[in-house]
Amino acid sequence: MRSIWSGFVSFGLVTIPVKLYAAAEDARTPLHEVHTCGSRIRHRRVCEREQREVPQEEIRRGWEAPDGRVVVLDAGDLEHLPLPSKRTAEVLGFVDDGDVDPLLYDRPYWAGPNGDTAQRPYALLVEALARHGTIAVCKVAIRTRERLAILRPRHGMLVLHTLRWPEEIRDPGDLSSSAPVTDRELALAELLMDQLAGVDIGDLRDEYAVALEQLIVAKGSGRELEAGLEPEPVVDLMAALERSIRDARRE
C-alpha cells in the first residue's frame, strides 16, 4: 500500500513518526466518457495563450489577482509553506465521538507507524485512546489543503479521519418539513423502528453495482432491461405504518 503523506503525530511532547494510507477505495464498475459511436472522449490540457497542449511537467498552480496578474506557484514554493501542519498533525485536544457532527466527516486514512522508533509511542497513543474512550482533534495539511482531522483507534491502529471546516457545511434553509404529526403516528413509527432494529452493515452489498453490470451485459447483447418500479407516494400514513409493522413481523 502506497503512503500519501509522511510526517508526525504530536501528542504533548511525544512525537510519533507516521505515514498515511488511503483507508477506502472506489469499488464501482468504471464508466468512461464516450462519443455516441463508442469512441473514448479525451480531455486535453491546453494553454489558452499559446493554444497548444502542454505536458504535465509544465503545469503549475496559480492565483489570479484582481488586476489580472497571475502568481505562479511550483512544487518547491508549496514545500516552503510556513505551515506547521504540513509535516505535523498536532493533537489539539480530546472530545467524545458524539461531539463531532457526522456532517463534518470527509476521508478516512490508516495512520501507520513509520520506523522502529515510532512503535512504542504509537502503541501508547492507540491504547490510551481506546482506554480513555475519546477521540483526538488535530489539524493536518494533506496535498494542498489544511484540514481538521480526528484520530481514533481501530484494530490496533490509528485512523485519521479528515473533517470539513464547519463553514463548508451548507445551511439547509427552508428544506425541512413543518407538517404536524400525531402521537399515534409517532408511536407506530417507533414500533416499526423496534421491529427493524439491528442490521449488520458488513452483510450489505452495493446493489447499484450489480444492476449496472446487468445493464452492461444486456446492452452488450442487444437486450433491453425493464426499468425498476417507482415507489408510490404514501396516501394513508397510518395504514402504511401498520402494514410495514405486519410485514416486519413476518420476516
pLDDT tens by residue, the chain, 251 residues: 899 999 999 988 899 999 999 999 877 778 889 998 889 999 999 999 999 999 999 998 888 989 989 988 887 776 667 677 788 999 999 999 999 999 999 999 999 999 999 999 999 999 999 999 999 999 998 877 899 999 999 999 999 999 999 999 999 888 888 788 889 889 988 888 888 888 788 887 878 778 888 888 887 888 877 766 666 676 677 888 888 888 888 76
Cell numbers standing for residue 187: 408511536
Same domain, 105 and 10: yes
Cell numbers standing for residue 111: 495512520
Same domain, 194 and 159: no
Tell me which H or E stretch contains 63: strand 61-64
Same domain, 201 and 164: no
In this structure, which amino acid lies at residue 5? W
| Dist. CA 163–CA 149, nearest whole Å | 5
pLDDT for the residue numbered 197:
82
pLDDT for the residue numbered 5:
92
Same domain, 132 and 193: no
Output helix, strand, coil percentages for the chain, rounded to the nearest 5: 30, 30, 40
Domain annotation covers residue 40 = no
Same domain, 19 and 100: yes
CA-to-CA dists, residue 45 to 57, 59, 74, 76, 83, angstroms: 12, 9, 17, 22, 30
Number of compact structural domains in the chain: 2
Give the CATH number for residue 114: 2.40.290.10
Q: Which of 168, 199, 214 finishes a domain?
A: 168
| DSSP per-residue string spanning 83-126 | -GGGTEEEEEEEE-GGGS-GGGEEEEEEEEE-SGGGHHHHHHHH
Q: What phi and psi values does residue 130 have, to the nearest 5 degrees?
A: -65, -40
The gap from C-alpha 118 to its chain's centroid, in whole angstroms, comes to: 27
Q: What phi and psi values does residue 167 have, to the nearest 5 degrees?
A: -70, -10
Same domain, 95 and 161: yes
Same domain, 135 and 13: yes
Q: Which residue has the cell 423502528?
A: 193
> Residues 6 or more apart from 90 whose CB is under 8 A from it?
9, 10, 84, 138, 139
pLDDT for the residue numbered 128:
95
Q: What's the half-sphere exposure (Cβ side, CA atoms, 13 Å) at 225?
A: 14
Cβ–Cβ under 8 Å, residues 183 and 190: no
What residue numbers bound the domain in which 199 lies? 183-250
pLDDT for the residue numbered 228:
66
pLDDT for the residue numbered 189:
87
pLDDT for the residue numbered 76:
72
Q: Which residue has the cell 488535530?
A: 138
Same domain, 155 and 222: no
Q: What is the DSSP letter of 67?
A: T
Please state the length of the chain.
251
